Chains A and B, each alone.
Chain A
Amino acid sequence: DTAVSQTPKYLVTQMGNDKSIKCEQNLGHDTMYWYKQDSKKFLKIMFSYNNKELIINETVPNRFSPKSPDKAHLNLHINSLELGDSAVYFCASRMQGARETQYFGPGTRLLVL
């Protein structure tokens, strides 16, 4: 009965590769997010989608491309991976509406070698 799930949990890959991270929520929420937690432990928003439409894009390199096939899924594709992309990526979701709580997934730990 996982609310927000992410796959894979761990991802180790070489520089220059292309990889995808998947996120699914079964909470019936209509807004989903991707956050990045870097080595300095800052959690920063990357993207947000509402009803499959991009609403937040936080100056992220265009090597990162989110895709939302439906309201319950928000995937993150990363092209030409760089060492600096190593981080923990968290997906989150919430219902549209002021001050609704965001629910986070368990994170995907990406290590680029």
Chain B
Amino acid sequence: DQQVKQNSPSLSVQEGRISILNCDYTNSMFDYFLWYKKYPAEGPTFLISISSIKDKNEDGRFTVFLNKSAKHLSLHIVPSQPGDSAVYFCAALTQGGSEKLVFGKGTKLTVNP
């Protein structure tokens, strides 16, 4: 029962262009969403988050958009850089819950020079 889905296992973009990574969720009790970035042989590192009371959060080149009615969020990276090449995990937290992160399967982003 996948509550957080990342349907694209991989994405390839050119340096300087926009990368858009998508994430869908099924559990309407989720109220906080996070993106983690993971390089090979390392643990995931936190990138950006958004609360369900917002529809957008921006941090430098990274912007996360949340569409609650569609249960969909996306991460935009612009401009993309080769160092952004990594696996990106979408994760969600339940309101009033025990801070138990529920992860998607990840999308491998490759940014070509």
Query: For residue B46, which residue of chain A has the nearest CB?
Result: A101
Query: For residue A101, which residue of chain B has the nearest CB?
Result: B46
Q: Is the CB–CB distance between B106 and A45 below 8 Å?
A: no
Query: For residue B108, which residue of chain A has the nearest CB?
Result: A41
Given contacts A90-B43, A104-B44, is CB(A55)–CB(B103) below 8 Å?
no
Query: For residue B91, which residue of chain A has the nearest CB?
Result: A43
Q: Is the CB–CB distance between A107 and B41 below 8 Å?
A: yes
A92 to chain B, nearest CB (A): 7
Given contacts A4-B43, A92-B43, is CB(A102)–CB(B101) below 8 Å?
yes
In the complex, A92→B100 CA distance in Å? 11
Q: Is the CB–CB distance between B44 and A90 below 8 Å?
A: yes
A97 to chain B, nearest CB (A): 9
Q: Is the CB–CB distance between B98 and A56 below 8 Å?
A: yes
Q: Is the CB–CB distance between B44 and A43 below 8 Å?
A: yes
Interface string of B62-105 (1 = CB under 8 A from A): 00000000000000000000000000010001000011111101
Chain A residues contacting B42 (CB-CB under 8 Å) are 106-107
Given contacts A31-B99, A48-B98, is CB(A104)–CB(B106) below 8 Å?
no
Q: Is the CB–CB distance between B100 and A105 below 8 Å?
A: no
Query: For residue B38, which residue of chain A has the nearest CB?
Result: A104
What number of A residues sit within 8 Å (CB to CB) of B?
25
Interface centre among B32, B36, B44, B100 (most CB of A within 10 A): B44
**A44 sits at the interface (CB 8 A):** yes
Q: Is the CB–CB distance between B103 and A99 below 8 Å?
A: no
In the complex, A94→B99 CA distance in Å? 10
**A103 sits at the interface (CB 8 A):** yes
Q: Is the CB–CB distance between B100 and A48 below 8 Å?
A: yes
B18 to chain A, nearest CB (A): 25
Q: Is the CB–CB distance between B93 and A99 below 8 Å?
A: yes
In the complex, A74→B102 CA distance in Å? 20
Query: A interface vs B, CB < 8 Å?
Result: 4, 31, 40-45, 48, 55-56, 58, 90, 92, 94, 98-107
Other CB < 8 Å A-B pairs besides A41-B106, A43-B103, 5 of them? A42-B103, A43-B89, A45-B100, A55-B98, A56-B100
